[in-house]
Amino acid sequence: MAKDYANIAKEVMKNVGGSENVEALTHCVTRLRFVLKDSSKANKEALENIDGVMKVLEAGGQTQVVIGQDVQQAFDAVMALPGAEKWGSQASAVEATEDTTEEKDIVAENKKKNKKNVFGDKFVEYVSAIFTPFMEAFMGAGLLKGFLVLFVTIGVLSKDSSTYTILYSVADGVFYFLPIFIAYTAGKKFGAKPFVTMAIAAAMVYPSIVDLKSAETAVTFMGIPVHMISYTSSVLPIIASAYVQAKWEKLLKKILPQVVSGIFIPLLDLLVIFPLTLIVVGPVTDFVGTTLASWIELGLNTVPLIAGFAMAALWPVMIIFGVHWGLIPICMNNYAVLGYDYILPLTVGTNFGIAAATFAIFLRSKDKKLKQLSGTAALSAFIGGVTEPAIYGVLLERKNVFAAMCVINGIGGALCAVMHVTRDVQISVNALTLPAIYAVYGIWGIVAIVISLVGAFAVAFVTYKEKSNKA
């Protein structure tokens, strides 16, 4: 039966407190993510009772309405409602320059009252807003990179061929120029001029600047020593620069007359923020990133069994609250600093474990509605790597199955940690990408997938109880 997205949108809007209570709206793969002026006005129970809504969460400073893979249709329907034009165009953030003083005071006061907007929540909110918009391009390029590794390994392509060069360019371009992608989303989120942030990022990866890192003579700017680092594929420097730029622009708006601010603020951004990035921001964030990566790697090398088990077992729990986004900057930084990531490979089997446990329930259940839901959700996790429908719609209500599945996934994660499984590209994990997964992760990544797939299916099939629809 087709969903009535217009009705879903109308009911969702009514139960988040109306369009006047919405500060911003964006969406990811499965969720509508509302930033509300007053989250206490949202009726969570009523939202979850809407036909077409799977779950409602308060996480990352957002009210997250889980729709499923058809979230885009629901998002479009919400955007078509009266009042959406006030905040819809902002997507992931409301530009500070468009708020009246009174509106700013109201929003600030409501945020003070909302005790859930703690540091951790805000961190997840910002990470999600910065990385979600270009994740499709990121995953597509990562998958192509994985297949290129496979094609070279089996002798289908040669690295010396022009075909390989062309394909590798489109696969690696998004990674090489990653600061420019991040610049736009980070600039918008922090309230800076996003295209100026992109100009700063473009300068960071400009060939002449890249060459300065290997220059034989000392690099200086107006007599100030500059410690050059590699900005290509970097993450933290441009995020920090965008934040500093936003604060700098806010200061300039107070100082400069409005009649000339539109001309001089972009100029002063480029003249001040870019040199400041090279002299201070870049080296500081590089030190922070390198230190953080070293400590995490030390932990995995010291207690790999515990660290690997915990990461893979808790990954589905992290997805529930949306906090898995908090690991993305660390993983991206690993690519820039180390050339590979060792954190997300620990979770290589989790999507398959979730899919297998949900499929076991599909086979065991006699309930028609649950059978339809679990079958669709299992397929979504197995083929598309989208696990929210399976977690929220099927597994979360069957706690024994969910817990057993997490434990099985943990075993695969422990194995990956002990065998030092890594990956040098960001790649989606599902049945369609298995050849690329083998090429990137190696045989132990496949073994971890088999453990999750077979183990989770077995424990779910045995522990599921139809009588109460819970296990």
What would the pLDDT profile of 49-90 be if each residue is shown by its tens digit?
A: 888 888 888 876 788 888 877 788 888 888 888 877 666 444
Q: What is the pLDDT of residues 35-50, one digit of tens each?
A: 888 888 889 889 988 8
pLDDT at 91: 42
pLDDT at 339: 81
Contact 390, 380 (CB under 8 A): yes
- CATH classification code of 5-113: 3.30.1360.60
DSSP string, 343-374: SGGGGTTHHHHHHHHHHHHHHH---HHHHHHH
Distance from C-alpha of 50 to C-alpha of 280, rounded to nearest angstrom: 51
Residues 69, 71, 77, 79, CA torsion sign: negative
pTM exceeds cut of 0.85: no
pLDDT at 458: 96
Which residues in the chain come in under a pLDDT of 70? 1-2, 60, 85-125, 128, 135, 139, 293, 321-326, 384, 467-471
Residue with tokens 């994985």: 146
H or E element, residue 296: helix 282-302
* Residue 88 structure tokens: 């819809």
Domain ranges within the chain, ordered by starting residue: 5-113, 177-289, 304-463
pLDDT at 107: 41
pLDDT at 71: 82
Distance from C-alpha of 256 to C-alpha of 252, rounded to nearest angstrom: 6
Contact 236, 329 (CB under 8 A): yes
pLDDT at 321: 64
